[in-house]
Amino acid sequence: MTDHDEKAKQILLKRDECNERSRVRKNRIARIVTVLVAVMLTAATAVTAVIASRGRRPQTPADVPGTVTRADTVTGPYLDGVIGENKESEIGFSGGLKGEAYKSEAEVAERSDSYSYYPKSGMPDMAYEPSANTPDAKAGTLTAGEWKDLAQFDQWLKKLGEDEFGAAAKNRKLDTSKMIRVKVTDEGACFNVPVKLISGGETVFTARTDINGEAFLFTGLDGKDEKPDSVSVGDMTVALDGRTELEINAKDAGVTAEKLDLMLMIDTTGSMGDELEYIKAELADLVSRVSEADKTFSIRVSVNFYRDEGDLYVVKYFDFRSDVNECLELMKDEHADGGGDYPEAVHTALENAVTGHQWRDDAVKLCFFVLDAPPHTENDVQGINENILKSLRAAAALGVRIIPVASSGVDLETEVILRSFAVITGGTYIFITNDSGIGGDHKEAEVGEHVVESLNECMIRVACEYCGIYKGEKIPYTQTYHQ
């Protein structure tokens, strides 16, 4: 058994300890506080050493407008930290709004009343309790489909033309109906080339080419009447002349794809309890197998977790690491807790994922965003839509591909939001299905004909395709784990 297999096994076995961890929560938090205090005592020295060794001060969430970092810790050579740490959280929540699609905020609020918010003094001594079949979980159990709207853009435009679907996108300032596709070549596809969309001499959108040399540029995302007139690649500027697709030959452009920065951003609120342990097993398998798919690739992994305001933390983030076993270890003890209302702190997690980590400039950059709920609305957080769009623009400019993994509980609005995330950043949409029988009900995605695969095989294939390691075939799901 390899070290990777052993670590994955440990992750699966940890689910048996979930209830015990819940019963000793207060002691566990006290231990965490003790560790944090000890780490913070040496933080200044460690930060100085890290900055000196890297030659510049990396950007952390403290530098990102709109975020509040209550505790930033430095562990060894890595920049790890917590946003919105709340050691004295006054509420706890178990269960979450799972298995139903909510049509309106009023309906969400009405349903929320049927779930309990417990003051700290009266909080039940429990968190999410694993189902009876949880100990039998293993990588390859969950099932999923993948749908890349950028590859079927005409169908995506038809969906945006539907009243409810299109309104959900426009309300969030995510109108992706105006796209310009650019392919950059130089005796072959050019990877990681910045491509700018120009309007009156001003850059309105920037993206980087993928492994196929394609960049996807957008105008009017927030409803503004932009009139782009040209595209810029390096020192060249090419007039659009009304075109929405063009190919540009750029000599000596691009780099060789030989590095992968793979990020996992995982919703760990209470509503994820029905699937989280399975998802951790799938992600452990993903991390291990992608790292072994091509030994010539330099692979780093970053694992991150988020909840919502008022929880123990809003975002718990970890720097990119080359040690796969260490990344698996970071996932091991995380469990589902917190949350409460339907929306979660997706906006803070997205902002941290894009601007709070040290992505390598010349790497393939993938962020698997595992979640089951949408971001808050303008009623909850002023300026949230603008901040989300700002983060997505930054992701596109950096070449960070957002790949949502939609879990049970996702409704139509959330699906539209997540698919828009993928479209704007050159990513793809993965959605967990009911075929495995695991977790709450999974909304049937509003997509065309697709293949149902094992979730881990789907994510591994997608990651490898973005790296150009291989063009994997979709393997139909045939095994039945639950009768």
User: What are the beta bridge partners of residue 430?
Assistant: 146, 405
**Cα–Cα distance measured from residue 378 to residue 164, given in angstroms and rounded to the nearest whole number:** 18
Q: What is the pLDDT of residues 76-113, one digit of tens each?
A: 577 899 999 887 654 433 333 332 332 333 333 333 33
**Cα–Cα distance measured from residue 303 to residue 318, given in angstroms and rounded to the nearest whole number:** 6
Identify the CATH number of the domain in which residue 282 sits.
Answer: 3.40.50.410
177 in a domain, yes or no? no
DSSP notation for 425-469: HT--EEEE-GGG--SS--PPPS-SS---EEHHHHHHHHHHHHHTS
Alpha carbon distances (Å) from 360 to 100, 261, 319, 337: 40, 7, 12, 33
| Torsion 449-455-458-462 (CA) sign | positive
Are 179 and 218 within 8 A, CB to CB? yes
Range of the domain at 14: 3-89+125-147+256-467
Q: Which two tokens stand for residue 194?
A: 């910045």
With H, G, I as helix, E, B as strand and everything else as coil, classify residue 405: strand
275 in a domain, yes or no? yes
226 in a domain, yes or no? no
Give the residues of the chain that fall short of pLDDT 70: 1-76, 88-139, 274-275, 293-294, 338-340, 471-472, 479-483
**Cα–Cα distance measured from residue 338 to residue 95, given in angstroms and rounded to the nearest whole number:** 9
49 in a domain, yes or no? yes
Give the number of other Cβ atoms within 10 Å of residue 209's Cβ.
Answer: 27
Structurally, how many domains does the chain consist of?
Answer: 1
**Cα–Cα distance measured from residue 331 to residue 318, given in angstroms and rounded to the nearest whole number:** 11
| Torsion 303-326-318-301 (CA) sign | negative
- Show Cβ contacts of residue 471 under 8 Å, excluding neighbours closer than 6 positions: 465
Host H or E run for residue 245 = strand 245-249
Are 315 and 338 within 8 A, CB to CB? no
Give the number of other Cβ atoms within 10 Å of residue 309's Cβ.
Answer: 16
CA–chain centroid gap for 120, Å, is 30
Q: Which two tokens stand for residue 10?
A: 């440990």
472 in a domain, yes or no? no
106 in a domain, yes or no? no
Give the pLDDT of residue 108: 32
Residue corresponding to tokens 């970071």: 330
Which of these, 146, 142, 139, 141, lies nearest to 451 by C-alpha position?
146
Give the pLDDT of residue 274: 64
With H, G, I as helix, E, B as strand and everything else as coil, classify residue 183: strand
**Cα–Cα distance measured from residue 181 to residue 229, given in angstroms and rounded to the nearest whole number:** 14
CA diameter of the chain: 68
Give the number of other Cβ atoms within 10 Å of residue 24's Cβ.
Answer: 12
156 in a domain, yes or no? no
Give the pLDDT of residue 348: 96
CA torsion, ordered 162, 163, 167, 170, to nearest 10 deg: 50
* One-letter amino acid of 287: V
Give the pLDDT of residue 9: 57
80 in a domain, yes or no? yes
Q: What is the pLDDT of residues 288-330, one digit of tens each?
A: 777 776 677 888 999 999 999 888 999 999 999 988 778 878 8
